Amino acid sequence: MIASCAAVALGEARDESELGGKAVQLGAAIRAGLPVPEGMALPVALVAAAAAGERAAAAELHVVRDSLRGPLAVRSSCIGEDSAAASFAGQHLTRLNVRSLDELVAAVAAVWRSGCSDSALAYRRRLSLGGGPRMGVVVQRLLDPEVAGVLFTRHPVTGADERVIEATWGLGEAVVQGLVTPDRYRLSPAGEVLERSPGRKQLAIRARPDAAPASEPVAAHLVEALCLDDGQLASLHSLARRCEEAFQGPSDIEWAFTDADLHLLQRRAITGAATWRPCVTDLDDQ
């Protein structure tokens, strides 16, 4: 297989023209020492070949499947995605709990097709992006977080110099699906807590060891309980500061806590007034 069709370790992702913005952003974060789950970046040619059902692509994805432990998350990394001008947030597919080679091939093909959805193409037209979509893919180990959310290193609407955090129990897809109202926190640039506003988190989406992620009820006493403590807020403030050191401009960060460990799932530039829509997740087809 030619080099341009070979997957690369996520920490080595550097070529945005072949691997897409999301993969390159995560690669830069890994090289900066940020806590990104292990993964692989699939270039445009490999993704297109997998979508076309080519045998050589399946063989390369077999290598990817064997190199990563446990269930996987398969996410879009379209060329131009997560750039300073265009985030594509919410436009492209994510598949969770991918386990077998057949599931991985099908997930990569589904992500490739999502680049041609009506909403994704309309977004491209709105931004006057020429040419058709070229889709890379990020494959990472799937986490089973206690708490997950988003962190803006500047206020995404007003531009104020403060951290804005939204958080929910379990996987962040509960917010993407509109199932919950997340907790909201605001921190000063020095890490002082300016606001703690409990949401209503009656459901959590959990990764399960032998089945697709699914929503489950949250215990009544946790529905409106704040899901981040002072130590976790301090860790998120530290992550924000480290991202500011590693990247130019304000960051829109997706994160998750597994026990006491904080993980950086995605990082993109804030492109203007924003709300959290990390990725459309096809939970019904896991």
* Cα–Cα distances in angstroms (integers) from residue 278 to residues 23, 46, 72, 188, 211, in the given order: 15, 24, 17, 24, 22
Q: Are the C-beta atoms of 254 and 150 separated by less than 8 Å? A: yes
Q: How many residues does the chain have?
A: 286
How confident is the model at residue 285, as a pLDDT?
36
Q: At 45, which helix (H) or strand (E)? A: helix 44-51
* Cα–Cα distances in angstroms (integers) from residue 177 to residues 10, 14, 60, 275, in the given order: 27, 32, 32, 13
The three-point CA angle 163-254-282 to 5° equals 140
- The pair of three-digit structure tokens given for residue 136, joined into one six-digit string: 């890379």
What number of CA atoms fall less than 13 Å from residue 128's CA on the CB side?
0
How confident is the model at residue 131, as a pLDDT?
59
Q: Are the C-beta atoms of 175 and 73 separated by less than 8 Å? A: no
Would you call 216 helix, strand, or coil by DSSP?
strand
What number of CA atoms fall less than 13 Å from residue 78's CA on the CB side?
29
Q: At 124, which helix (H) or strand (E)? A: helix 118-126
Q: From CA 217, how far away is CA 240, in angstroms rounded?
A: 31
Contacts of 22 by beta carbon, 8 Å cutoff, 6+ apart? 75, 76, 77, 78, 81, 82, 136, 138, 266, 268
Domains of the chain: 3-141 (3.30.1490.20), 147-272 (3.30.470.20)
Q: How many CB atoms lie within 10 A of CB 55?
A: 7
Q: Are the C-beta atoms of 235 and 260 separated by less than 8 Å? A: no
Tens-digit pLDDT string for the chain (286 aa): 444 689 999 999 999 999 999 999 999 999 999 999 999 999 999 999 999 999 999 999 999 999 998 899 999 998 875 444 444 445 568 899 999 999 999 999 999 988 775 565 565 556 555 556 789 999 999 999 999 999 999 999 999 999 999 999 999 888 877 899 999 999 999 999 999 999 999 999 998 767 678 889 999 999 999 999 999 999 999 999 999 999 988 999 999 999 889 999 999 888 654 444 444 344 433 3
Q: From CA 43, how far away is CA 23, in angstroms rounded?
A: 9
Give the type of residue at 258: T
* Cα–Cα distances in angstroms (integers) from residue 46 to residues 181, 185, 272, in the given order: 38, 41, 32
What number of CA atoms fall less than 13 Å from residue 115's CA on the CB side?
23
With both helix axes pointing from N to C terminus, report the angle between 55-67 and 44-51 in degrees, rounded to the nearest 10: 120
